[in-house]
Amino acid sequence: MTIFALWGRERAAEAAIDGLLALQHRGQEAAGLVTSDGTELFVRRGRGLVAEALAGAEALPGDRALGHVRDRAAADEEPPDGQPFVKASGRFALVISGGFSEPESGALLSAGVPDRSAASFSPAGARRPLAAPAEGAASAFFFRLAAALASGGGSGTAPEAAFAALLRRLRGGFAAAALFPDRLLVARDPHGIRPLSYGRIPGGVAVATETPALYAVGATDVADVPPGTLLIADGAGFRAVPFAEPGPLALCSFELLYFARPDAAMGGRVAHVVRRALGRRLAEEAPAEGEVVIGVPDSSLSAAMGFAEASGLPFDFGLVKNRYVGRTFIRPEAPAREQGVRRKLAVLDPVVRERSVVVVDDSIVRGTTMRRIVKLLREAGARAVHVRIAAPPVRHPCPYGVNFTSRDELIAARADVEAMRRTIGAESLRFLSPEGFRAAVGGGVCLGCFQGEYPVAWR
C-alpha cells in the first residue's frame, strides 16, 4: 500500500530512495524503483529492505521516478520482487495498491485478460514472461492497462485517457501511479480510502502515500490528492483533473490508527494528534486501576500518552522494540506473527515488576500479538495486566487492502470481550466505543472493519 513518485528532480533515483526509506514502515518484504530519462525506463527491484533491495539503484539515470515497498499481504498478487509492474518493452511502469473490484461482475480484475497477453510482459530481469495470475487485482489492472494502451487507449489515444477510463471501472479503495518516459500519472480513489499526498519540488512534483516521504525530499505546499483526481505531470507542466465524481471522504481508519508514521498528515489530521486523542477518550470510557501506563511501540505510544494524561497515571516505556524486525501485523501466517513478536519486543523489567500495568494498543486483530505481550509482562514480574484498546473491536474484514480479508481470522468476530480477555490472559480488557472513536478522530473515515458498513459496496 505504498507509492512514491517524482517528476522533474535531478538525480531522481537518489531522492526516491530517500522517499522510500521514509515509507519503510509500510512494508519490509521487497522494494522496487523505476526511473526514466525521458526516453527509456530503468528498473531495479529486489527482496528485503530498501537499503538492500535497491543497493546501487541511486545510480539509475533520469529526472523522474516511481517506487514501491511491499508488505507480506501483497505477496500473492505481485512478481517475486514486488512492484512496480513493468512492461518488458519499457513502455510504462505501474504501482497500484489497495483493494478494488470490477463492478460488472463483482470479481477482482482478472477476467477478460487473454493468456497470450502475458507474452509481452515480464518482471525486470526475468528470463521468461510473467503469467497473469488467476486472481489478484493489482496485477490484473496492469494487464488491463497494457491491453488498453495497445488497442489505442480505448476512449482516446493518450495514456491518461486509458488510465482514467480503467480507474472509473474500479470500485473500492486504491491509489495508483503509472510512469511513462514522457509523463507521470497518479490517481486516488473517489472516496479517498487510501491516502495519497503531493508537494511541489523545484522543477516538478513529488507524490507519496505519506507526507513524511515528501518532506524527506524537500517538497513544499504539501496537500492531499483530492479523491477522484488524476494528477498529470509531463512536458506541459503539472495539472490535476477529475477522473470520477468524488464521494464522501472515507479515509481508512487503520491509516490514522496504525499504518501511518506519527508525523504523517492525512485529511487535515496528524496521526500522533489523533492517536493521543483516542487515548484520552479511552481513559474516559474505560478507566483502569493500574500503576503505570505503557504503549505497544511504535504505533500505540501516542495513545498510551493520551490515556496516561487523562487518567492521571504515569506513562513509561515498558516495552522495547527491536527496530530491525518488521511489523508483525502484516505477516499473514500465524506462526510467523508469533515468532515476529518474540523477536520484536522485549520488556523493561524495572518498569513493570510488581506493578499493575495498563497496556494500551491500537487494535486486536487476531490476538496473537497481545497474548504474547501479556505473557512477556507476566514473565517480567507484572502483578496484573489490564489491556485497553484505542479502537472498537475489529469484527469485519477489509476489502480495501488491509490484511484481514476474512471474518474467520478475526478474534472479535467469533468471541465476545470476556472470551477475548481469557484468550489473551489479561485481568481486564476494554475497547473504545465506535462513538468514542468517531468523536476522537472526527468525520471522513471508513469504519467498515468495526461496524460492517462500507463506503463502497464490494459484493
Q: Tens digits of per-residue pLDDT, 113-138?
A: 333 233 333 333 332 222 333 346 78
Position 454 in a domain: no
* 241 and 294 together in one domain: no
Boundary-marking domain end, from 184, 214, 247:
247
Question: Is 332 a residue whose pLDDT tops 90?
Answer: no
Place of cell 477482482: 108
Position 123 in a domain: yes
Helix segments in 9-62, DSSP class H:
12-21, 50-53
* 232 and 277 together in one domain: no
Neighbours of 428 (CB within 10 A): 17
Question: Is 28 a residue whose pLDDT tops 70?
Answer: yes
Q: What is the DSSP string of 180-214?
A: ETTEEEEEE-TT--S--EEEEETTEEEEESSHHHH
All 3 cell numbers of residue 146? 497494457
Position 147 in a domain: yes
Question: Is 369 a residue whose pLDDT tops 50?
Answer: yes
Residue-wise pLDDT tens digits, 156-202: 458 999 999 999 999 999 999 999 999 999 999 999 999 999 999 99
Q: Which domain holds residue 132?
A: 4-247
- Report pLDDT for 449: 95
Q: What is the pTM of this model?
A: 0.88
* 150 and 293 together in one domain: no
Position 19 in a domain: yes
Position 136 in a domain: yes
* 88 and 48 together in one domain: yes
CA–CA dist 297, 61 (Å, integer)? 38
User: Percentage of the chain surpassing pLDDT 70?
Assistant: 84
pLDDT band at 74 (very low <50, low <70, confident <90, very high): low
Residue-wise pLDDT tens digits, 313-326: 999 999 999 877 65
| Helix or strand run (H / E) with residue 349 | helix 349-352
- Whether the CB-CB separation of 257 and 362 falls below 8 Å is answered with yes
- Report pLDDT for 126: 31
* 192 and 279 together in one domain: no
* 226 and 276 together in one domain: no
Report helix, strand or coil for 414.
helix
The β-bridge partners of 100 are 172
Residue-wise pLDDT tens digits, 447-456: 999 999 999 8
Position 452 in a domain: no
Q: Residue 298: is the preceding peptide bond cis (ω within 30°)?
A: yes
* 213 and 131 together in one domain: yes
- Report pLDDT for 137: 78
Residue-wise pLDDT tens digits, 286-299: 999 999 999 999 99
pLDDT band at 404 (very low <50, low <70, confident <90, very high): confident
* 235 and 296 together in one domain: no
Residue-wise pLDDT tens digits, 225-243: 999 999 999 999 999 999 9
* Domain harbouring 201, CATH code: 3.60.20.10
- Report pLDDT for 328: 54
Place of cell 515468532: 339
- Report pLDDT for 129: 29
- Report pLDDT for 90: 66
* 278 and 209 together in one domain: no
Position 459 in a domain: no
Rounding to the nearest 10 degrees, give the CA dihedral for residues 347, 354, 364, 192. Answer: -70
Summary mean pLDDT of the chain: 87
Question: Is 432 a residue whose pLDDT tops 80?
Answer: yes
Position 252 in a domain: no
* 69 and 14 together in one domain: yes
pLDDT band at 71 (very low <50, low <70, confident <90, very high): confident
- Report pLDDT for 326: 57
* 351 and 408 together in one domain: yes
All 3 cell numbers of residue 363? 487494535
Q: Residue 37: is the preceding peptide bond cis (ω within 30°)?
A: no
CA–CA dist 213, 3 (Å, integer)? 10
* 277 and 374 together in one domain: yes
* Domain harbouring 439, CATH code: 3.40.50.2020
Residue-wise pLDDT tens digits, 208-223: 999 999 999 999 999 9
CA–CA dist 354, 387 (Å, integer)? 17
- Report pLDDT for 375: 96
- Report pLDDT for 8: 97
Neighbours of 305 (CB within 10 A): 19
Residue 205 Cα distances to 167, 183, 318, angstroms: 22, 12, 42
Number of domains in the chain: 2
